[in-house]
């Protein structure tokens, strides 16, 4: 992965973490079940999901999977090109 791309994700993760740390004291979790409590829980869950997604990308968990998918794509492209060449060779032999 590009270093700049990872840097961008680090910045986004830090911004999301700062938003979470700023908002936690402002959110009310003491009123018990209700709309305010539900909003606070859902907001925190979304913030944690954003942070986790960026952390997942920064750590590079999917790099090996990405390499395998690229190899499969190249192989499929080679197969498709081979079939295309065979069909065009047959068509030129018929003419």
50, 30 Cβ separation under 8 angstroms: no
Residue 63: the pLDDT is 72
- 57 CB contacts (<8 Å, ≥6 apart)? 6, 9
Residue 27: the pLDDT is 77
pTM tops 0.85: no
| Domain span holding position 75 | 62-95
Q: How many domains does the chain contain in total?
A: 2
For residues 1 and 90, which has the higher predicted lDDT (pLDDT)? 90
Residue 67: the pLDDT is 83
- Pair 15, 49 in one domain: yes
- Pair 52, 88 in one domain: no
Residue 1: the pLDDT is 47
The label of the residue with tokens 């909003």 reads 39
- Pair 42, 70 in one domain: no
- Pair 3, 30 in one domain: yes
pLDDT, tens digit, for every residue of 10-57? 999 999 999 999 988 887 777 777 788 888 889 999 999 999 999 988
């Amino acid at each position: 992965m590009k270093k700049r791309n990872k840097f961008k994700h680090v910045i986004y993760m830090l911004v999301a973490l700062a938003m979470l740390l700023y908002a936690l004291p402002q959110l009310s979790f003491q009123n018990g079940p209700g709309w305010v409590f539900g909003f606070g829980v859902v907001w925190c869950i979304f913030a944690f999901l954003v942070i986790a997604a960026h952390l997942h990308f920064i750590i590079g968990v999917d790099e090996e999977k990405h390499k395998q998918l690229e190899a499969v794509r190249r192989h499929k492209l080679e197969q498709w090109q081979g079939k295309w060449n065979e069909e065009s060779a047959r068509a030129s032999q018929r003419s």
